[in-house]
């Protein structure tokens, strides 16, 4: 059996690791299970790169993931996402958790300097997990450390051109090399997914393209000395005004401050800042006019009362800008041996705070269902052959993909709908709209429980998936064995 993961970003790497955890390398009957990752960008390990630690923290990764508050170079991994990593492997979880800054709460403020609300960023499980702010490159590095070099092919898929006689998809490459057959192609290739095009029958034209939603993020890195000397541990500050949104907070931890996302710790020497604003036009990220960007930044935040905001806009360097691209609601995420995960299926607004975490959940749930139905296929193959109805791998893949979609789509839809509401608070506002935003945020802070956040943080999809598997009698199969990833 051959599985190809298109895209070696966060979602692609996690998908590989989960598949390797739950699928054996070979199965009865001499069938080998091979998993390959296709990645068109350099996917070298950190020890093979010559960049500094700070460059590693800032560097881009091919699979763009949503940063919770609008800065694309950082990923906010919510407690539900961290729970996925803990289920994957305790060692990977610990490595990731201790590479980021644990956030226990968000301090919501107005541009006038008023404190509007304090919103918790933890779950309510035992042990309690905080939200983790981690450099996107750091997160990728932690995962890449556990993926063998020889499973990653540096090659770009240009289309899915055909199917074999037994309906196995065939991938075509841009360098003219021979096509690659697979039993399952997992599209983890981001918002502009090539696999997504093929699912809807046209490898040349994207029938459901990602769209610019009119919001742009700009930000960068600053010394943590820019923040107040009285900055509480575990706090991220986010400020709303008439011309957008501004946030800042620590992004690294003090040396020897292992926390496993279960407690707050002193901040390190680096912090991150970001500003989100509305734009009618999609900016050209390849030809940045940094002077103009800085000028606009200062104009937007002139008069904002937070001294930290003023210090940042006066002195900080603009590293990059991040237009928000979102995937429209897709009618399906799978077809004929192809399935989408992460941004390829549901690129969402950064306001969701769930971009990275939902990609992690996708990989986890898809691998569980695939392992379940494949195990059922191989264990029942002899029986089915005798009954005149031989099982096929494609049937198992189709069953797993359908169950994955059935379970994942409603949860993702709930998150994307909420993200749109929060994203609208970052747009330009007249005086009435500005004060209405402040009132809404103030009311949120007075509510005893944020039921939406608690539900997303605590109602883990893996529990539902395991219940479905345990109760599933078609085909009869046992729950996949959850063996350690590394022995």
Report, as an integer, the average pLDDT of 282-290.
82
Give the DSSP H/E element, type plus range, for residue 446: helix 431-446
Q: With cut-offs at 50, 70 and 90, classify the pLDDT of residue 259.
A: confident
Q: How far apart are CA 7 and CA 43, in angstroms?
A: 10
pLDDT-based confidence at 404, cuts 50/70/90? very high
Average pLDDT in the 368-394 region? 65
Region of residue 211 (left: phi > 0; alpha: psi -120 to 50; beta: else): beta
- pLDDT-derived band at 238 (thresholds 50, 70, 90) equals very high
**Tell me, what's the pLDDT at 383?**
41
157, β-bridge pairs: 173
Residue 391: predicted pLDDT: 46
Confidence of residue 145 (pLDDT cuts 50, 70, 90): very high
When pLDDT is averaged across residues 177-181 and rounded to a whole number, the result is 84
* Residue 475 reports pLDDT greater than 80: no
User: What does the pLDDT look like over 123-143, one tens digit per residue?
Assistant: 877 788 999 988 888 899 999
Q: Which CA distances in Å does 426 have to 46, 168, 320, 367, 438?
A: 36, 46, 19, 36, 12
Query: Which is higher by pLDDT, 19 or 168?
Result: 19
- What pLDDT sits at residue 260? 83
Helices (H), 105-189: 136-144
Phi, psi (rounded to 5 degrees) for 259: -135, -20
Which residues have CB under 8 Å from 396's CB, separation 6+? 370, 373, 374, 376, 377
Q: Is the pTM of this model over 0.85?
A: yes
* Average pLDDT for 361-387: 75
Check residues 280 and 58 and name the one with the higher pLDDT: 280
| Mean pLDDT of all residues belonging to the chain | 82
Mean local confidence (pLDDT), 200-215: 82
pLDDT computed for residue 87 by the predictor: 94
- Only one residue has tokens 């610019």, namely 212
Per-residue pLDDT tens digits for 287-331: 878 888 889 999 999 999 999 999 999 988 887 788 888 888 999
- DSSP string of 37-92? EE-SS----GGG----HHHHHH---SS----TTS-TTEEEE-HHHHHHHHHH-HHH
The pLDDT tens digits for 88-118 are: 999 999 999 888 899 999 999 999 999 999 9
Question: Quick one: pLDDT at residue 480?
Answer: 43
pLDDT for res 251: 87
More confident residue, 6 or 56: 6
334 CB contacts (<8 Å, ≥6 apart)?
199, 340, 398, 401, 402, 404, 405
Helix (H) / strand (E) element for 463: namely: helix 461-471
Q: Provide mean pLDDT across the span 322-345.
A: 92
pLDDT value for 449: 67
Give the model's confidence band at 431: pLDDT under 50 very low, under 70 low, under 90 confident, else very high.
very high
Which residues are bridge partners to 102 per DSSP? 132
Please tell me which residue, 178 or 21, carries the higher pLDDT value.
21
pLDDT at residue 119 greater than cutoff 80: yes
What local confidence, expressed as pLDDT, does residue 473 receive?
65
Q: pLDDT confidence of 424, banded at 50, 70, 90?
A: confident
Q: pLDDT at position 60, please?
A: 30
The two three-digit tokens of residue 222, written as one number: 């600053």
* Cβ–Cβ < 8 Å for 228, 308: yes
51 contact partners, CB below 8 Å, separation of at least 6: 59
Label residue 462 by pLDDT band (50, 70, 90). Answer: very high
Question: What are residue 238's phi and psi, to 5 degrees?
Answer: -130, 130
Q: Rounded to the nearest 5°, which phi and psi values hold at 224?
A: -65, -15
pLDDT at 476 > cutoff 60: no
Helix then strand count (H, E) for the chain reads 14, 21
**Rounded average pLDDT over 64-75:** 42
pLDDT for the residue numbered 236: 93
Does pLDDT of 58 surpass 70? no
Examine the pLDDT at 484 and tell me if it is beyond 50: no
Q: Among residues of the chain, what percentage have pLDDT more than 70?
A: 82
Residue 246 pairs in a beta bridge with 239, 275
Comparing C-alpha atoms, which of 332, 324, 346, 412 is closest to residue 188? 346
- Residue 36's pLDDT is 93
105-109, 206-210, 423-427: the lowest-pLDDT one: 423-427
**Stretch (H or E) spanning 172:** strand 169-173
Specify the pLDDT at position 304.
Answer: 95
Q: How many residues does the chain have?
A: 487
């Amino acid at each position: 059996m051959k599985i190809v993961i298109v895209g070696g970003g966060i979602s692609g790497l996690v998908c590989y690791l989960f598949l390797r955890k739950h699928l054996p390398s070979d199965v009865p009957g001499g069938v080998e299970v091979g998993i390959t990752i296709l990645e068109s960008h350099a996917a070298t390990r950190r020890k093979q790169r010559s960049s500094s630690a700070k460059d590693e923290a800032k560097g881009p990764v091919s699979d763009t993931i949503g940063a919770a508050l609008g800065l694309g170079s950082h990923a906010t991994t919510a407690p539900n996402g961290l729970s996925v990593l803990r289920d994957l492997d305790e060692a990977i979880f610990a490595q990731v958790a201790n590479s980021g800054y644990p956030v226990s709460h968000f301090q919501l403020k107005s541009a006038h300097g008023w404190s509007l609300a304090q919103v918790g960023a933890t779950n309510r499980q035992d042990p309690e997990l905080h939200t983790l702010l981690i450099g996107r490159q750091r997160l990728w590095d932690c995962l890449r450390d556990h993926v063998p070099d020889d499973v990653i092919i540096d090659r770009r898929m240009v289309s899915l051109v055909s199917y074999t006689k037994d309906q196995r998809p065939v991938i075509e490459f841009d360098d003219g090399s021979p096509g690659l057959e697979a039993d399952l192609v997992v599209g983890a290739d981001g918002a502009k997914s090539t696999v997504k095009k093929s699912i809807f029958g046209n490898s040349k034209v994207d029938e459901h393209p990602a769209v610019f939603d009119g919001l742009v993020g700009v930000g960068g890195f600053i010394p943590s000395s820019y923040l107040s000397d009285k900055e509480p541990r575990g706090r991220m500050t986010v400020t709303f005004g008439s011309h957008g949104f501004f946030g800042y907070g620590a992004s690294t931890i003090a040396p020897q401050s292992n926390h496993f996302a279960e407690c707050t710790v002193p901040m390190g020497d680096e912090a991150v800042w970001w500003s989100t604003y509305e734009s009618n036009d999609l900016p050209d990220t390849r030809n940045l006019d940094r002077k103009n960007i800085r000028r606009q930044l200062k104009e937007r935040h002139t008069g904002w009362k937070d001294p930290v905001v003023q210090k940042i806009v006066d002195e900080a360097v603009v590293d990059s800008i991040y237009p928000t691209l979102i995937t429209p609601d897709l009618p399906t995420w799978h077809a004929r041996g192809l399935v989408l995960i992460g941004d390829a299926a549901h690129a969402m607004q950064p306001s969701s705070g769930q971009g990275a975490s939902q990609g992690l959940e996708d990989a986890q749930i898809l691998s569980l269902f695939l392992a379940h139905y494949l195990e059922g296929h191989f264990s029942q193959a002899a029986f089915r052959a005798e009954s005149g109805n031989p099982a096929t791998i494609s049937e198992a893949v189709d069953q797993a993909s359908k169950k994955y979609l059935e379970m994942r789509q409603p949860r993702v839809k709930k998150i994307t709908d909420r993200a749109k509401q929060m994203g609208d608070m970052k747009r330009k506002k007249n005086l009435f709209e500005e004060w209405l935003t402040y009132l809404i945020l103030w009311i949120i802070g007075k509510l005893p429980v944020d039921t939406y956040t608690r539900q997303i943080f605590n109602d883990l999809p893996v529990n539902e998936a395991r219940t479905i598997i345990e109760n599933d009698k078609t085909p009869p199969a046992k729950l996949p064995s959850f063996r350690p990833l590394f022995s």
